[in-house]
A and B are shown apart, each in its own frame.
Chain A
Amino acid sequence: MIAVVDYGVGNLYSLNCSLRHIGAESVVTRDESVLRAADKIILPGVGAFGDAAAKLRELGLDTLLKELAAAGKPLMGICLGMQLLFDESHEYGCHQGLGLIPGKVMPLAPVLPDGMKVPHMGWNSLTFHKPEDVLLTGISEGSHVYYVHSFYATDCEAAWVATSEYGGVTVPGAVRCGNVCGTQFHPEKSGGIGLQMLASFAKEDTVC
């Protein structure tokens, strides 16, 4: 059973449908006992980092997720959910993240050349850094995935699984630190490639 964390941030309809589509059993929840009992956890999220981090804290989910991750439960963050896995974000001020993957989240705009658009929106190709990672099972390098974001994870090279290039900036697309992984792109919106990644996460039975 995969628990999708419901903390009032973002739209979970597509993610749920995609999990159902790949035949994964899933439940949308913020209930502590359900999260503890789940085999795996997905942390979704769209919107602002500060608000999302505050909601996690308000619901007591920050300490719970940290505890479960430390105990080895596979945890996958998607988009803002991935950004929340890092130490901190500099999105309109400085906000603490969950600190499960070393690194910080910074705005894209200041590092992009003039004329490059923000958000980084659309289909971008993947360069593999850890081709053996379970998330990349059955996927070819150069495959395209769908991104929509204005902030990106930095100082986290050790965690890079796959990246995309945008305006000369290396954008971490998929990251991992042990049993904690995440994607900046939306696997639930990345067609067959994204469904394959979700299926790999759902099937993953060993902790890297």
Chain B
Amino acid sequence: MLTKRIIPCLDVRNGRVVKGVNFEGLRDVSDPVTLARFYNQAGADELVFYDITASAEGRPLFADALRAVAAEVFIPLTVGGSINTVDDFDRVLKCGADKVSVNSGALRDPSLIENAAKRYGDQCVVLSMDVKRVDGSFHVFARGGREDTGRDAIEWAKFGEDHGAGEIVLNSIDTDGVRKGFDLEMLQAIGDVVRLPIIASGGAGCMEDFVTLFRLPCVDAGLAASIFHSQEVEINALKAYLKEQGVPMRI
């Protein structure tokens, strides 16, 4: 039986992991390799690395960190951040990424999804969306959640599916950092219209939030950062608890 996945997300700036709360107030958490090794041993099903380096000088540091992680952690690695072209896909895939997540880059140039899928396969293309409620509907935001694109999130998810995305990360700006649970309403609204695997992100505050999350059949994975980095929720304990609650888990 296919299990639900628990995915810690590591934001990396200049080769170091930082955590974001409502996309602001970043603080240094730890070294990427140390954290990756720790999460692998704790039973993480996958790791996501977002490169939030603002400068071109930081890019090689990210590549070094990624190569170092991929050389000793043998679970799927997804990389996002600063992915604007098919060449960017190439750059991170060569460093050991298995999947590449596109966000603002695809909003600027929607053909990126299809071009990357044709070159590397659907399984490689993850469409990551920052979603926020605006006037009663769900809008997609760009640039780390700072800019309302005016695009309808449901339409954008469907567009991604039709053009070769293999998976979708749905990050709720409304619930991110609030720690009162995932944005079930938004997840359900988009889950109703796409058949792609859905990774839910934003809002996890405790183990119970994941139990509630996985009651939605459309959700395949739960992603979180700060609660794992701070060890408020331990992944192995979380997975054991979820299994007890009847959620299929890899233990």
Contacts and interface: CB of A to CB of B under 8 A. Distances in A.
29 contacts: A11-B96, A13-B67, A14-B70, A14-B74, A14-B98, A17-B74, A17-B96, A18-B74, A20-B71, A46-B120, A46-B124, A47-B121, A115-B195, A119-B123, A119-B197, A122-B5, A122-B220, A123-B250, A125-B1, A144-B250, A146-B76, A150-B122, A188-B74, A189-B75, A189-B98, A190-B74, A191-B40, A191-B74, A195-B74
Contacts of B1: 124-125, 165
B195 A118 contact: yes
A124 B70 contact: no
Nearest to A116: B195
Interface of A: 11, 13-14, 17-18, 20-21, 46-48, 115, 117-125, 144, 146, 148-150, 164-166, 188-192, 194-195
Contacts of A194: 74
A48 B72 contact: no
Nearest to B194: A117
A79 to B, nearest CB: 9
How big is chain B's contact interface, by range? 20 to 34
Contacts of B130: none
Contact of A46 (B5, B71, B121, B250): B121
B94 A123 contact: no
Given A21-B71, A46-B123, A121-B220, 14 more contacts: A13-B96, A14-B74, A17-B70, A18-B74, A117-B196, A119-B123, A123-B2, A123-B3, A123-B250, A125-B1, A144-B3, A150-B123, A189-B74, A191-B75
Nearest to B220: A122
Interface string B1-28: 1110100000000000000000000000
Main secondary structure of the interface of B (DSSP, over half): loop
Interface of B: 1-3, 5, 40, 45, 67, 70-72, 74-76, 93-96, 98, 120-124, 166-167, 195-197, 217, 220-221, 250
A18 B70 CA distance: 9
A122 B3 contact: yes
A20 B74 CA distance: 12
Contact of B166 (A14, A47, A119, A144): A119
Contacts of A14: 70, 74, 96, 98
B197 to A, nearest CB: 5
A48 B217 CA distance: 29
A191 B3 CA distance: 15
Contacts of A164: 2
A150 B124 CA distance: 13
A150 to B, nearest CB: 7
Contact of B5 (A21, A120, A123, A188): A123
A187 to B, nearest CB: 9
Among all A-B residue pairs, the 4 with the closest Cβ atoms: A144-B250, A123-B250, A148-B123, A17-B71
A89 B245 CA distance: 40
Given A123-B5, A165-B1, A13 B70 contact: yes
Contact of A117 (B75, B120, B220): B220
A122 B45 contact: yes
Nearest to B40: A191
A17 B195 contact: no
A122 B75 contact: no
Given A17-B71, A191-B74, A121 B95 contact: no
A199 B47 CA distance: 24
A191 to B, nearest CB: 5
Contacts of B123: 46, 119, 121, 148-150
Contacts of A46: 120-121, 123-124
A165 B2 CA distance: 8
B98 A11 contact: yes
Given A123-B3, A124-B2, A144-B250, A21 B72 contact: yes
B76 A166 contact: no
B95 A13 contact: yes
